[in-house]
């Protein structure tokens, strides 16, 4: 073997050790700003790309602040899926490649819900305001289906997966979302007569889709309300006649008991900004519907 042949052989071996066959560099990467978009992308891509939702489980994705390594990873992604409607405020403070950004709610921006100005804090996230737009668009399955289609279009446009495969998967996903919507309409057909209070302003699109009256508090997820919070709930019940309190996270037994003493039944509706504790997007949505229906039944019997 000549010297140059030995050099080429060593160089080839070194490359195989460093890069490895089928290395992660050869796999397209898609980054999303919330779990619903991750779920849609995973359903549409199958095994053709890696889908990353980088926000830690104990941080609100709406107000997450990415670190330097997070930003580098996101900037290098082949596709960055945004929710729009003001969700994920960090995107306005980070330089991102425009050619790889897709706002999945652009197609229905005329349906955004304008919210009131309410300023408060989320743990270490500092003070922020809900002024502007309601951003949990995916809690309306019809809008969720439109976002899934925007994800599919972005995947196809960038050649991240075969077009026919993506379209077939999209048809299946949208059919499941349509079925979910029909189930919700049937289950909530009489809920317009029930007053609801939510522990946090997340459910505007859900309420509009199914004709529900939902008044929102500003309680922190995972924390029991203090005396002032319970007094506010008491006043809100008196003002609205609501019979069901919707929690975005599982409350403690003491909190449920305190709410019951005020006159409202509790129902947990995970907002799915993060991956649900159990199951997937569709499973969590159905569980929430069941929780609401059960709470309504108890409330009506009181």
- Res 19: pLDDT: 39
- What pLDDT, in 10s, does the model give residues 139-186? 999 999 999 999 999 999 999 999 999 999 999 999 999 999 999 999
CA 204, 285, 263, 195 torsion-angle sign? positive
Please tell me the distance from the alpha carbon of residue 214 to that of residue 198, in angstroms, as a whole number. Answer: 7
> Which residue is it, tokens 């425009």?
98
Distance from CA of residue 155 to its chain's centroid? 19
- Res 196: pLDDT: 97
Give the CA distances from residue 241 to residues 128, 223, 233, in Å, rounded to whole numbers and listed in that order. Answer: 30, 24, 11
3-class DSSP state of 296: helix
Please tell me the distance from the alpha carbon of residue 209 to that of residue 184, in angstroms, as a whole number. Answer: 10
Among 95, 88, 85, residue whose Cα is nearest residue 65: 88
> In this structure, are residues 92 and 72 in contact, taking their beta carbons and an 8 Å threshold?
no
- Res 104: pLDDT: 98
Q: Answer whether 0.75 is exceeded by the pTM.
A: yes
> In this structure, are residues 55 and 76 in contact, taking their beta carbons and an 8 Å threshold?
no
> Which residue is it, tokens 């408060």?
120
> In this structure, are residues 138 and 82 in contact, taking their beta carbons and an 8 Å threshold?
no
> Which residue is it, tokens 């709610």?
105
> In this structure, are residues 264 and 237 in contact, taking their beta carbons and an 8 Å threshold?
yes
- Res 122: pLDDT: 47
Cβ-based neighbours of 299, under 8 Å, separated by 6 or more: 194, 243, 244, 264, 265
Residues in the chain predicted with pLDDT less than 50, given as ranges, are 1, 4-5, 7-24, 120, 122-126, 130
Q: Which helix (H) or strand (E) holds 16?
A: helix 3-19
- Res 222: pLDDT: 79
Distance from CA of residue 32 to its chain's centroid? 10
- Res 118: pLDDT: 53
Per-residue tokens: 294: 């059960």
């Amino acid at each position: 073997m000549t010297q140059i042949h030995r050099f080429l052989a060593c160089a080839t071996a070194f490359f195989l050790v460093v890069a490895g066959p089928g290395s992660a560099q050869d796999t397209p990467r898609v980054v999303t700003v919330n779990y619903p978009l991750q779920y849609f992308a995973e359903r549409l891509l199958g095994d053709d790309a890696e889908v990353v939702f980088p926000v830690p489980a104990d941080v609100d994705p709406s107000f997450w602040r990415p670190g330097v390594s997070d930003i580098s990873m996101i900037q290098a992604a082949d596709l960055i899926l945004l929710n729009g409607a003001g969700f994920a405020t960090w995107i306005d403070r980070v330089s991102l490649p425009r050619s790889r950004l897709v706002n999945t709610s652009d197609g229905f921006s005329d349906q955004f819900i304008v919210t009131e100005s309410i300023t408060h804090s989320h743990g270490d996230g500092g003070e922020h305001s809900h002024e502007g737009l309601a951003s949990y668009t995916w809690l309306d399955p019809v809008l969720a289906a439109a976002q899934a289609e925007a994800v599919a279009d972005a995947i196809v446009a960038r050649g991240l997966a075969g077009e026919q495969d993506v379209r077939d998967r999209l048809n299946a996903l949208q059919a499941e979302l349509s079925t979910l919507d029909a189930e919700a309409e049937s289950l909530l057909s009489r809920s317009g007569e029930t007053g609801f209070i939510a522990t946090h302003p997340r459910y505007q699109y859900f309420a509009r889709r199914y004709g529900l009256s939902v008044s929102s508090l500003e309680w922190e997820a995972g924390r029991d309300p203090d005396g002032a919070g319970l007094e506010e709930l008491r006043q809100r019940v008196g003002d609205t006649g609501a019979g069901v309190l919707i929690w975005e996270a599982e409350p403690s037994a003491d909190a449920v008991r305190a709410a019951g003493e005020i006159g409202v039944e509790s129902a947990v509706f995970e907002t799915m900004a993060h991956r649900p504790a159990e199951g997937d997007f569709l499973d969590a949505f159905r569980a929430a519907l069941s929780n609401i229906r059960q709470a309504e039944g108890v409330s009506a019997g009181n």
